[in-house]
Structures are given as C-alpha cells and as structure tokens.
Amino acid sequence: MRTTVIEATPLTSNTLHPLYAALIEHSLDLTVMLDERGVMTWQSPSALRVLGYHPHELVGRNAFDLIHPDDRGRVRDVFERARRVDGPTPFIEYRFLHKNETWRVLESVGSAVLTPDGVRVGIVNSRDITEQRTLKDQMHHAQHIATMGRLATSLVHEFHNSLQVMLLHLDIVLETNESPALMPELDGIKRAGELAKVLARQVLDVSRASGAAPQRVNLNAAIESTTLILRRLAGRHVRLDTRLWATRADVQIRFGALDQILVNLVGNARDAIREAGSVTIATRNVEDRVVIEVTDTGVGIPLRLQSQIFEPFVTTKSATNGTGLGLSTVREIVEEAGGRIDVASAVGCGATFTITLPVADAETSRTSERWTGRS
C-alpha cells in the first residue's frame, strides 16, 4: 500500500469549492485525515475549539499516541478493519488527550477512501461527547444509588423490627433482675438498643422524605449519660475523659443525633490509637455558641486528607475496617443543627474534631421540651 501525505495546509477556497470550504471551516465536529499508520495528515480547524490544538500541531503526529492507553487497542482494531473493508466503521467511543492534559471523550466514525491518485486514506469524523458521557454516568450512578437505597430501606425495616423484639425481652430481664450490680450494664445495653432503634427510624424517615423534629438537648447531660457506652466502645487500651465546662450547653438537635456523633468520633479515635492512648470529650462556650471537642492521641490524619475527610467514602482506614461514611454523616447532622465541624491534626500527633453549635435561645426554651439525654 502506497502512502501519500496530503498537503497539511488548511482547506480553503483555493483548494476546495467555496461552499465545501465554508462547511469545513465552521464545522462543530472534528474531521481528520490519516495515513495507513494512523499519522494525521490533515486536521480540521475545529481541533482548536474541541481539543485545544491548532491544526498544524496535530499534523504529522500519530493519532494513537494521543488516545488513552486503555482505549488504544480497541480503536486500533477498528482502524485496521476499516483498511480492509469498504464502508463506514461502527461508531466508537474513546478518550483523546486535550492540549491541557485532560481526557475528552470522542465519538467517531470513519471510512477508507481513495484519493484521485489511488492512495487509500482514512477519513474520521468525531464529536466531543464528554459532557453527555458524564451526565449519563451520573444518571447510572443515581439509579444505582436509588436501587441500593430501596434495598437498604428494606433491610433497615427488618432490623428495626428485630430491635423492637430484643428491647421487649430486655425489658423483661430488667423487671425480673434481682442483681443491682448488673443494672448499669443492662441500662447501657438498653440505651444502645434504643439508639440503634432511633437510627433505624431515621433511615426510614429519610426514605420517606421526612425528618425528625429537633429537640432541646443539654450537651453536658447527654454526654454524661452516654459515657458508659463510649467507654465500652473505646476499649480497655483507651482512656476516655470528659471536661464538661460549658455553662450554657442547650442546643436544638434531633433525638439521638448527639449519641450518633459521639459514637462515630470515639469509634474513629479508638481505631486511630495503635496501642494505649486517650480520648477527651470537652465542652465550652464561645460567645453565643457551644463547642464540643473530641481529641485523641492517635496516629493523626495526613494533611492531604484533612480537606476531604468529611466527604463520603474518604477514609484513613483499610477497606475492611471503614466505609468512609461516618464523618460525612456527622457533618450532615451538625450542619442540619445549624453548626459546623472542623478538624486539626498532624501525623503522629493525634487529632481534634471541633463541633460548634448555636446555643438554644430563651424563646426556644419556652416552647421546647428539655431533654437531658435519657430515653
């Protein structure tokens, strides 16, 4: 097969009928001419708009060098078939390197044609479908999430029913128990079960697009009532301390939400402490706000992750130990209550998570029922 390199200058009315020249000059899509090796011998002016290259920057380069390595073999197979078979190729999608080093998704169709002097060349027409592909992927992801959501709702419903049965049996044990020494442990089990029931109900509420109404909560009292569970959660190798210094500690937050926050933060702190260490939960006031700080002596969080740590599926744990959903859930709860959460950490020096919430005002105090953390 003979190879002839077509003149590389842009097609104009000097080389084409003015109508054809205008069609090429203003085309929104890409048109490229390739020799038998895939070298670009002519490129339409639209390359600058679509790919960031002036046409002369692409002429003489092999098109396959700019195709994503994962797509290159598939595109080359279509190209080789086109050299042997008459007629257009099937439409094919692949990633092509933009001049700014990003990948654009192109949809192309091509065919082999003969020049007037009998040379067989490839003509490929392409359009940029990056945005369409991104939207399509997002729709598929949304459909997947919706399907998983329906499955999760069904599982949570069954879990909620099982918890109700467990708590009923626990009530019987509490009524018939004659050992005072067991009461703190049984109360702790009941509180953990009630929290799990609340969380399950919240998931079901979300699936029905309805949320639980916020209640007035005294943070100091709620933390004190949860300390026994948190100490069990932290484990024997971690010391849990509380410093409840806030003098105005009432906030508006939905029932069970503070327990959910503390369980997530203390659980993460425990996992970050490799051997012995400590976790401190402190409260204080800053002007008209109340601050909760959860500080650990663990391994710390790398700086590169600190700006992403509250995003879904971002985790410092292994795939088997963490889902990356705990901190994103905590952030949603805090923001729902009108607050914010921040992290300060250094590798090897532990981490401090700071939650700032507005203090409930006097008007709220008159219209809301005070909840001290006991269910």
Could you please state the CATH topology (level 3) that the domain comprising 212-375 is classified under. Answer: Heat Shock Protein 90 (3.30.565)
Average pLDDT over residues 337-355: 92
SS3 (DSSP) at 105 = strand
Question: Looking at residue 304, what is its pLDDT?
Answer: 81
Question: Looking at residue 233, what is its pLDDT?
Answer: 81
Could you please state the CATH topology (level 3) that the domain comprising 18-128 is classified under. Answer: Beta-Lactamase (3.30.450)
Q: pLDDT-based confidence at 259, cuts 50/70/90?
A: confident
Concatenating the DSSP letter of every residue in 48-96 gives: HHHHS--HHHHTTSBGGGGB-HHHHHHHHHHHHHHHHS-SPPPPEEEEE
Q: What are the residue boundaries of the structural domains of the chain, listed by start? A: 18-128, 130-210, 212-375
pLDDT by residue (tens digit) across 215-249?
A: 899 999 999 988 887 888 888 889 999 999 999 99
Question: Looking at residue 184, what is its pLDDT?
Answer: 80
Confidence check: pLDDT of 252 > 80: yes
Q: What is the mean pLDDT of the chain?
A: 80
Confidence check: pLDDT of 270 > 60: yes
Question: Looking at residue 218, what is its pLDDT?
Answer: 94
Instruction: Give the span between the Cα atoms of 309 and 272, in whole angstroms.
Output: 14
Residue type, 233: L
Confidence check: pLDDT of 335 > 80: yes
Least confident interval from 98-107, 181-190, 191-200, 364-373? 364-373
pLDDT by residue (tens digit) across 51-89?
A: 999 999 999 999 999 999 999 999 999 998 888 877 888
Question: Looking at residue 247, what is its pLDDT?
Answer: 94
Question: Looking at residue 13, what is its pLDDT?
Answer: 39
3-state SS of the chain: helix, strand, coil percent to 5? 45, 25, 30
Residue 198 half-sphere exposure toward CB, CA atoms < 13 A: 16
pLDDT by residue (tens digit) across 212-222?
A: 678 899 999 99
The residues near 279 (Cβ < 8 Å, ≥ 6 apart) are: 234, 238, 239, 240, 241, 266, 269, 270, 273, 294, 295, 296, 297
**Are 197 and 170 contacting, i.e. CB atoms less than 8 angstroms apart?**
no
Residue type, 120: R
The residues near 265 (Cβ < 8 Å, ≥ 6 apart) are: 294, 330, 353
Question: Looking at residue 10, what is its pLDDT?
Answer: 42
